[in-house]
Chains A and B, each alone.
Chain A
Amino acid sequence: MTSMRTAIILLTLLALAAVPGSLLPQRNVATDPAAVDRFVMENPHLSPWLDRLGLFDVYASAWFAAIYLLLLVSMTGCVLPRCARLWRSVRSAPVRAPGNLARMEGHVEWTAHSGPASEASPQVAAADLLRDRGFRVEIHGNEVRAEKGYLRELGNLVFHLSLLVLLVGVAAGRLFGFEGRVALAEGATFTNVRSEYDAFTPSVWTDVDNLEPLSFTLDDFEATFETTGAKAGEPRRFNAALSFRTGTGSPTRVQDVQPNHPLDINETKAFLTGHGYAPVVTVRDGRGDVTFSGPVIFLPRDSTYASDGVIKAPDAVPQPLAFEGFFLPTADIDDRGPYSAFPDAFNPELFLTAFTGDMGLDDGTPQSVFTLDKTNMEQVTGEDGQPLAQALAVGETMTLPGGVGTLTFDKVARFANFQIAYDPGKEISLLAALMLLAGLTTSLSVRRRRIWLRVTPGADGAADHIEVAGQSLTRWPLKPADLDALVAALRPAPISTPLRERTRS
């Protein structure tokens, strides 16, 4: 369970398990919320099976969790004993030299007469030099034992343990955080309470009644687009000018929010994630009273910002009024009909049809503001008996026959989508990421290595036999400089062959 082989197998399984989630549409993945439903509709037979296997929600599925939890358990079981071993080896003396140094890396030997007694022995000289180079050193009779690079093991441990910290960070976000979305037309205000969100996904233990006290108003939204060249129509700059307040009684402040530059109030962040048009209209009813006035959010359908929307005036007298249609920021027409030639509002037009009757708002079931329940409504027709449809430029008015009401297209406003997120585990995850990176870099770059020097005294005044050699405990070769320095300092004669060549690499 805690062997490296298990780790390799589980890592391979983890990689394979992550694949289907990138090929099949996923719930809870921001890319395209409707993708799963579309896929299910197109593959009615296959989909229930895929769903049962959790393949539309791979990264939250039990089997995916099983793999990474097993991996983390196995890793902990593997790494904790290593911690203990590292601790012991740091506290114990460097290991003794092997009997046959000639078989170790970078072996060099020479003979030298011991100097006068006042001179330091080669052992002491070597020990000093190695200590200066950061080795842990011990002199043991005729032998010098040195080791360096424990940091590598420490790095390896920090790296592996950082994965556990990461799990805590991810879990904290999953258990206490939330994500929500809201669309605001220019001039509209959002207050950070659950009911004001268009969509709100709390976690298990999110404190939904005590969200960060915050409100903001979209004062102005600005979008600019490339107007020339091959990339004409590509967005270039978005800017949402907000005025916001944190809590009651605090002063109102202003901030520009742009992509990559969110509004950040005590870790609750509002990100600008999209935008579109909100035509401002005024609806008058049969008595000539204003029954609706203001911007209405139209949802963009493509990159030219041709947008669809619904305008509702349920309080109109004598009958409730509703309008359905589309908005074109730069209206143009070809043989297939009207279309938008550019995403910016150069020639805005509103195309509407009208309905009267009960739109089903009173029975209490919540209804999207973007769709119209037409079951009990009647389409307004023109004198020719055809459904009434009209294109309105700014300032123009659509007058419904029979004096039931009018709609005026006052001006063009824009709306912005905000993604509002709170993730209390973020700092923990960031800490884990830093540990991971530091640990990994250390573990992969530090070379743990041993160096030995042995003096074999010559018999009866003959020269001493001195040997040095080393051992790399990693896949990197020994650092030639360690041995070079040792030999240069101790060997009396000039070095005839560069040592590098003799170091087995």
Chain B
Amino acid sequence: MIDPTMLASLSNLLIYTAIAVYAVAFLTYAGETALRTTRRSTAPAYLGVGPGGPEPSPEPLSSEPLLPDPHDRIRQRADWLGAAGTNVTIVGLALIVTATVARGIAAQRAPWGNMFEFALVGAVALTAAYLAFLARRPVRAFGVWIVGLVLLALGMAVTVLYTPVDALVPVLNSYWLVIHVAAAITGGGIFSVGAVATGLFLVRDRADRRGPTSGRRRYADALPTSTTLAQVMHAAHMLAFPIWTFAVLAGAVWAENSWGRYWGWDPKETWAFITWVLYAAYLHAESTAGWRGRRAALFALGGYAAFLFNFFGVNLWISGLHSYAGV
């Protein structure tokens, strides 16, 4: 039998290592972005599909024709950096997955029982969701943002949210909790990819409508086309919404199990509801002529803001039955 305290310290060590690794990924991705946006016309758009490196993309690369060969070297370097960033991100993911497993074994329960652990597992979900999208769509431009969010989550985890390994207070000791939180975090990871897609869609869309400018190449031009971004935005939300719905319903079952009522308008429940309703509004807007795209995007961002508030605002500022989650 391995000593639990040793496993717990190992878990912490892995998290610190992962932070360093993610920081490298962040810098690498940032380097790629810089190469693609610094000099006019030399900067080819992101092409990479999947960690293996660039593959031809079916879509037009950018509104401006690319100049041929002389700039190939910069493009190659950007591609190389991008692929490297993705590989480093995969290493980071492997580290935090291991850290999560070690923590789970040390605590002898599912390792999502307090805010520190939510942030850790959230970082896993976010990275995994990003890599899953990257395997299918050319979204490496998300990398720098996703890795930035992961760094933020892990940074908060080891500083303000840190909690040593421990057993749970009795009311949290329920398999419905395991299911409920796992679904909420998975949904949240995919919503986060959706939020990044939404933000970048708005940037690209706005730039497209302004038309090409002279001088420095803009960040927006290096992004995937607004069609691709809109598709990823919509796909992420369509995927995450049923998962989030399931999380809310599983939470209701758990509440019925422990308090005798399945819905009590506790602040946590209320904000889960607000999140759900705003994302439902987003899905409707995507099906409505005149609202699709830009206007719908605002509802998606609203839903994400409500989601984030539920995690940070409600846990830290509003007390409710759920606040035993412990900070």
**Physical interaction between A and B:** yes
Q: A-side interface residues toward B, CB under 8 Å? A: 4-5, 7-8, 11-12, 14-15, 18-19, 21-23, 26, 29-32, 58-59, 170, 179, 226, 229-231, 234-238, 258-260, 262, 269, 271, 273, 419-421, 423, 426, 429-430, 433, 436-437, 440-441, 444-445, 475-476, 501, 505
User: Contact at A436–B249, with CB atoms within 8 Å?
Assistant: yes
**Could you write out 5 A-B pairs with CB less than 8 Å apart?**
A12-B281, A230-B166, A234-B166, A235-B170, A421-B260
Is B164 an interface position by the 8 A CB rule? yes
User: Contact at B260–A262, with CB atoms within 8 Å?
Assistant: yes
Interface locus among B9-17, B66-74, B209-217, B272-280: B272-280
CA distance A382 to B305 in the complex (A): 63
Given A15-B277, A436-B245, A437-B242, CB of A231 within 8 Å of CB of B259: no
Q: Using CB atoms, name the residue of chain B closest to A9.
A: B281
Contacts of A22 in B (CB 8 A): 265, 267, 270-271, 274, 314, 318
> B265 touches which one: A26, A226, A231 (CB < 8 A)?
A26
> A29 touches which one: B265, B285, B306 (CB < 8 A)?
B265
User: Contact at B170–A475, with CB atoms within 8 Å?
Assistant: no
- Tally of A-B Cβ pairs under 8 angstroms: 139
CA distance A21 to B266 in the complex (A): 9
Nearest Cβ distance between residue B243 and chain A, in whole angstroms?
A: 9
CA distance A194 to B264 in the complex (A): 23
User: Contact at A4–B241, with CB atoms within 8 Å?
Assistant: no
CA distance A19 to B272 in the complex (A): 11
Given A11-B278, A22-B318, A259-B173, CB of A440 within 8 Å of CB of B245: yes
> A5 touches which one: B173, B266, B288 (CB < 8 A)?
B288
User: Contact at A433–B264, with CB atoms within 8 Å?
Assistant: no
Known: A11-B277, A179-B260, A429-B262. 19 other contacts (CB 8 A): A4-B288, A5-B288, A7-B281, A15-B281, A21-B270, A22-B274, A30-B264, A31-B319, A238-B170, A259-B173, A262-B260, A271-B260, A421-B261, A436-B245, A440-B242, A444-B242, A445-B242, A475-B286, A501-B58
Interface locus among B98-106, B140-148, B250-258: B250-258
Q: Using CB atoms, name the residue of chain A closest to B283.
A: A444
CA distance A432 to B241 in the complex (A): 17
Q: Using CB atoms, name the residue of chain B closest to A422.
A: B260
Contacts of A260 in B (CB 8 A): 170-171, 173-174, 176, 254, 257-258
Interface string of B199-226 (1 = CB under 8 A from A): 0000000000000000000000000000
Contacts of B34 in A (CB 8 A): none
Nearest Cβ distance between residue A501 and chain B, in whole angstroms?
A: 6
Is B36 an interface position by the 8 A CB rule? no
Contacts of B245 in A (CB 8 A): 436-437, 440
Is B41 an interface position by the 8 A CB rule? no
Is B75 an interface position by the 8 A CB rule? no
CA distance A230 to B238 in the complex (A): 42
Given A31-B319, A437-B242, A441-B242, CB of A258 within 8 Å of CB of B259: no
> A21 touches which one: B258, B262, B265 (CB < 8 A)?
B265
Q: Which of B267, B270, B320 has the most CB of A within 10 A?
A: B270
CA distance A271 to B264 in the complex (A): 15
User: Contact at B278–A12, with CB atoms within 8 Å?
Assistant: yes
CA distance A430 to B164 in the complex (A): 37
Is B284 an interface position by the 8 A CB rule? yes
User: Contact at B306–A15, with CB atoms within 8 Å?
Assistant: yes
Is B234 an interface position by the 8 A CB rule? yes
Contacts of B302 in A (CB 8 A): 15
Given A8-B288, A18-B270, CB of A23 within 8 Å of CB of B258: no
Contacts of A8 in B (CB 8 A): 281, 284-285, 288, 291, 299
Contacts of A31 in B (CB 8 A): 266-267, 319-321
Q: Using CB atoms, name the residue of chain B closest to A504.
A: B58
Is B6 an interface position by the 8 A CB rule? no
Contacts of A18 in B (CB 8 A): 270, 273-274, 277
Contacts of A30 in B (CB 8 A): 259, 261, 264, 266, 321
Interface string of B180-214 (1 = CB under 8 A from A): 00000000000000000000000000000000000
Q: Using CB atoms, name the residue of chain A closest to B176.
A: A260
Contacts of B231 in A (CB 8 A): 475, 505
Is B1 an interface position by the 8 A CB rule? no
